[in-house]
Structure 1
Amino acid sequence: MSGLRGVLEDHVRPGSAPGAVALVGRGDRVEVEAVGSVDVDGTAPMARDSIVRIASITKPLIAAATMMLVQDGSIGLDAPVREWLPELASPSVLRSPGGPVDDVVPPDRPITVADLLSFRAGYGFPSDFSLPVIGLLFSELRQGPPQPQAVAPPDAWMATLARIPLLDQPGRSWLYNTCSDILGVLIARASGSPLTEFLAERMFEPLGMVDTGFHVPADKLHRFTSFYRTDPEGGLQLIDAPTGEWSSPPPFPSGAGGLVSTVDDWLAFGRMLLAEGTAHGRALLTPESVWQMTTDHLTRHQREAGTLFLEGQGWGYGGSVDVAAVDPWNVPGRYGWIGGTGTAAHVTPATGTVTILLSQLETSGPTPPALMRDFWRYASGLPTATEQPRL
């Protein structure tokens, strides 16, 4: 079978993923297909309105929320974050990234809001996971795969963060993930509202994102998918069921990867970006804010150092920006990101395209899985792997 459905079935039918739903939108034309089941038992078919843990495609939404506060004048891009995050007023910095965690020096300058948005604050994952300080991000902050009920509340989490040194000086290196969690706390403190309420009032309600949040209410659990990883024998191991960690509000709403959503909800967000910040006649972001989010802010050295995650791409605010066609599916200007729960979402302003893929199988590392790559090939009009001519 050809088309989008065929792309999904090539990967879901062999059992490599229980189910998937994908969307390609260009202007008013929207193509959506759902295949497989919400779990390995076939309890219900995957559907357009199935709710999925979207993991790191949470990050662009958190960046957009931060830019709303910049527009309000509540915060400034160049402002030191210490005003709202006093825990980060005097951080220590590792003398050498691979050195002992107690061999530190003072920072060259304060951490700014722009540092957090561009992932250059000094906190996060480098390409080398063996560095001693990285162990603290996993053990003390519960960074890594989302585990909503295991993370401390925001104030306690920030107190722990303050005891962990920066891996590098503010502004010097691109480091993955942690900055989005910090932004979630910043949004709450700068706005005076919990992150859950701010997002609901300022983003989800205006955009009609009715199924997006940090947990799934009881009356929607029948649409919530199960989440799996591949075990060493090649089978599927259940990580979280619908009645598990996302069935109640988390102590720490993770701006790095804690949201659940649907393809239509993320489509509403993507269309808002393509319309330069407007939706339903209402401006959520200014064109300047959208430009800031979707423009690469990294130096060539920072892009190359982040190769494990970026694969040659740049980074805007909360998402990658394709700056060169290093792979066939890379379209210059495409903005978005991927999630460790098997999700991907991008917008391409030049073509007015939104592409979204939601599955429920944990990725095995930063490299996008075959399903994701074939989906991107299809969305860009290129042959998928199964359609490539054999030589």
Structure 2
Amino acid sequence: MPGLTDVLWDSLEARVSSGWCPGLVAGVRIGGEVEVHAAGTYALDDVRPMNPATPFRISSLSKLVGGALALSLVADGTLDLDDDVSRWLPDLAELRVLATPDAPLAVTGPARGPMTLRHLLTMTAGFGIDFGPTPYAAATRDLLWGPTPPALAPDEYMARLGSLPLAAQPGDRWMYHAGADVLSALLPKVAGIPLRDLLAERITGPLGLAGTDFPTGQEEFPAAYEATAGGLLEAAAYQDAFASPPVFESLAGGLVSTVPDFVSFLAALADDVLLPAGLGAQMTSDQLTDAQRPGFAELAGPEESWGFMSAVQTGPGASWSEPGMWGWAGGSGTSAAVYPNGDIGVVFTQRFMAGPDENFDWFWAPFGQARSQAASG
């Protein structure tokens, strides 16, 4: 792609030079050709240059990998999308549901039906992050909220979750994040092997993704930062959570990867290498009903919806985007998406997103320019 990505890489260099973060790595696939660019250094006080092999904590981009891993078990008949997950996770049997979203935890009724794999993948299982001032939000904040993986073994996590009522009937309401942690507890029970081994067997091994795994404690990560009024502050607790093998291997936010690996992973999904074409299309297309969609719109806006562990663009969106585009972002400063024609963009940074209004337009806008130039010849 000689010359096509110059504006994009210049934008990344300018972002680093502005002091927004010490360094970052990005990769693109345009018209089938892949380029990777690294800018800046590992930390404010570490002059080691970023490079394509730099490992990053990818936070919620882990969900895309989790969705693909679960669907690989659907593809071979090990799981069905409508299986009752309490078969493997008995803490989720005999579910109770709050009478109203803001009801006291003791005011419940029975669930209308079981919790299924489909509910977990679409994040409509009835539990998750509640951003309101409700008793449920107060009772679940330490258990269900990120950004670090749960500090509990999976069985203990499931016991605590099962002791709580659901915030909504399974299938009624989209609620973020924790469905992917329950998926992380479910898949090793179904497969009969540790989640790390299942990941290696079905995704990272076949695709040759040597830099993608749960943390081992041997990685040399770049520093992670939070933006404060006084400047960038190292996110010490977050860094500590990835400094050794995790107690809970989390597909909600616990994976580490490199930019080349993640481009390869998305390409394998987009090109129907990783999953049968029909399942891949389901994962990356709108799976929410009209009744469920408002929950996601509260987080991402009216022109986005949710597939199986992936956001999906349904409306016109920004000038650089297209309906049918899919992907997600991670709170630790990561973003990745695939366009309908198979073009791919991935950017990993060291700086936590300041909130839902922060975006990666400084990456996606020049990437869109590069795509337009490629299309015009």
* Structure 2 length-normalised TM: 0.92
Q: How big is the shift at 1:365?
A: 1.7
Q: Distance in 2 between matches of 1:227 and 1:154?
A: 26
Give 1:322's aligned residue. 313
Report the 3-state secondary structure (helix = DSSP H, G, I; strand = E; otherwise coil) of the residue aligned with 2:180: helix
Give 1:306's aligned residue. 296
Give 1:144's aligned residue. 146
The code of the aligned residue for 2:348 comes to L
Query: Where in structure 2 are the equivalents of 1:132-171 lying within 5 Å?
Result: 132-139=135-142, 141=143, 143-146=145-148, 148=149, 151-171=151-171
Runs of 4+ more than 4 Å apart: none
Q: Which consecutive unaligned segments of at least 5 residues does structure 1 have? A: 279-283, 384-391
Q: Deviations over 1:306-340 (max 9, x none)?
A: 22322220100011000111332331111110000
Give 1:342's aligned residue. 333
Match of 1:332 among 323, 327, 334: 323
- Asked whether 1:381 is paired with 2:369, we answer yes
Report the 3-state secondary structure (helix = DSSP H, G, I; strand = E; otherwise coil) of the residue aligned with 1:44: strand
8 Å Cα contact 1:57/1:345 also seen in 2: yes
Q: How big is the shift at 1:272?
A: 0.6
Q: Distance in 2 between matches of 1:90 and 1:329?
A: 47
Give 1:177's aligned residue. 177
The code of the aligned residue for 1:322 comes to Q
Give 2:35's aligned residue. 31
Q: Distance in 2 between matches of 1:308 and 1:35?
A: 34
Q: Distance in 2 between matches of 1:333 and 1:300?
A: 18
8 Å Cα contact 1:226/1:241 also seen in 2: no
The code of the aligned residue for 1:144 comes to G
Match of 1:77 among 78, 81, 95: 81
Q: Distance in 2 between matches of 1:185 and 1:367?
A: 31
- Asked whether 1:129 is paired with 2:119, we answer no
Give 2:91's aligned residue. 87
Range with greater deviation from structure 2 (332-341 or 244-253):
244-253
Identical positions, percent: 36
8 Å Cα contact 2:63/2:309 also seen in 1: yes
8 Å Cα contact 1:296/1:321 also seen in 2: yes
Report the 3-state secondary structure (helix = DSSP H, G, I; strand = E; otherwise coil) of the residue aligned with 2:189: helix
Kindly tell me the number of residue pairs found equivalent between the two proteins: 366
8 Å Cα contact 1:303/1:310 also seen in 2: no
Q: Distance in 1 between matches of 2:289 and 2:317?
A: 17
CA separation of 1:229 and 1:102: change in aligned 2, threshold 3 A = same
CA separation of 1:113 and 1:204: change in aligned 2, threshold 3 A = same
Q: Which consecutive unaligned segments of at least 5 residues does structure 2 have? A: 372-377
Give 1:386's aligned residue. none
Q: Distance in 2 between matches of 1:2 and 1:72?
A: 43
Report the 3-state secondary structure (helix = DSSP H, G, I; strand = E; otherwise coil) of the residue aligned with 2:242: helix
Q: How big is the shift at 1:27?
A: 4.1
Give 2:215's aligned residue. 215
8 Å Cα contact 2:16/2:40 also seen in 1: yes
